[in-house]
């Protein structure tokens, strides 16, 4: 299966289910940035339940800004805040310390563009999962595609209705199972079993 999908910030589990079950991944590089989507946000399981981590971007006067041109806002240290939130959420998970050294650099490096940040988070997670896949990048935008399975709708959390098998989560006894969070939730809780999990799920 060949798929078309958006690069996003530490994507949802559904993104990696699609990638893990594909033969070729095409990253959508040529769309417009849309607010209220997971292009610049992820959801984690905090001690208080679900928590949104949002990457701040520089607002443009362009009505339809190309995703490739979206720049990160560096006026405050959002990276430090995000990593502290991840520590509070996952420090006691089985595999946080195992993957910590691989994840930390993304919160120390100063990216200029959101797209570069997103691609690097996906690359880091793929290495942690030991998930190898071939990918290409789009050169122009198409509303519809016929030669690929179009998973671009997964970037919009409200349209992503996938329900996956439950696994043990750190605060599961307190708040219950939370479905389809950031891939980091699966990685920190399931570790080396995460890839098998991804390959068994249905979108």
Q: How far apart are CA 45 and CA 166, in angstroms?
A: 14
Q: What angle (nearest 5°) sits at the alpha carbon of residue 103, between those of residues 113 and 157?
A: 60
> Tell me, what's the pLDDT at 136?
96
Residue 90 scores a pLDDT above 90: yes
> Tell me, what's the pLDDT at 23?
94
The pLDDT tens digits for 96-139 are 999 999 999 999 999 999 999 999 999 999 999 999 999 999 99
pTM of the predicted model, to two decimals?
0.96
Q: Which two tokens stand for residue 108?
A: 């120390």
> Tell me, what's the pLDDT at 61?
76
Residue 19 scores a pLDDT above 90: yes
Cα 173 to chain centroid, rounded = 25
The pLDDT tens digits for 20-75 are 999 999 999 999 999 899 999 999 999 999 999 999 999 877 778 899 999 999 88
- CB–CB of 29/137 below 8 Å? yes
> Tell me, what's the pLDDT at 163?
96
Q: What is the 3-state secondary structure (H, E, C) of 103-140?
A: HHHHHCCCCCEHHHHHHHHHHHHHHHHCCCCEEEECCC
> Tell me, what's the pLDDT at 147?
93
* Cα dist from 165 to 82, 154, 179, whole Å: 27, 18, 8
The pLDDT tens digits for 143-175 are 999 999 999 999 998 888 999 999 999 999 999
SS3 158: coil
> Tell me, what's the pLDDT at 59?
82
Largest CA distance in the chain: 47
> Tell me, what's the pLDDT at 29?
95
Residue 179 scores a pLDDT above 90: yes
Burial class (CB in 10 A: 0-12, 13-18, 19+), 176: exposed
SS3 4: strand
Q: How far apart are CA 6 and CA 84, in angstroms?
A: 26
Residue 2 scores a pLDDT above 90: yes
SS3 172: helix
């Amino acid at each position: 299966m060949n798929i078309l999908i958006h690069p996003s910030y530490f994507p949802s589990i559904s993104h990696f289910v699609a990638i893990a079950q594909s033969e070729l991944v095409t990253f959508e590089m040529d769309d417009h940035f849309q607010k209220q989507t997971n292009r610049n946000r992820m959801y984690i399981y905090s001690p208080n339940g679900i928590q949104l981590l949002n990457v701040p971007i520089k607002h443009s006067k362009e009505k339809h800004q190309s995703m490739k041109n979206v720049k990160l806002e560096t006026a405050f240290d959002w990276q430090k805040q995000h990593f502290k939130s991840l520590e509070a959420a996952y420090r006691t998970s089985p595999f946080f310390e195992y993957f910590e050294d691989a994840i930390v650099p993304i919160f120390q490096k100063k990216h200029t563009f959101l797209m570069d940040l997103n691609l690097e988070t996906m690359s880091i997670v793929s290495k942690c999962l030991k998930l190898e896949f071939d990918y290409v990048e789009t050169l122009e935008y198409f509303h519809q595609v016929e030669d690929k399975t179009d998973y671009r709708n997964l970037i919009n959390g409200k349209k992503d209705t996938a329900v996956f098998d439950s696994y043990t989560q750190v605060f599961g006894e307190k708040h219950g199972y939370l479905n389809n969070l950031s891939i980091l939730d699966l990685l920190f809780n399931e570790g080396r079993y995460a890839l098998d999990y991804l390959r068994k799920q249905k979108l």
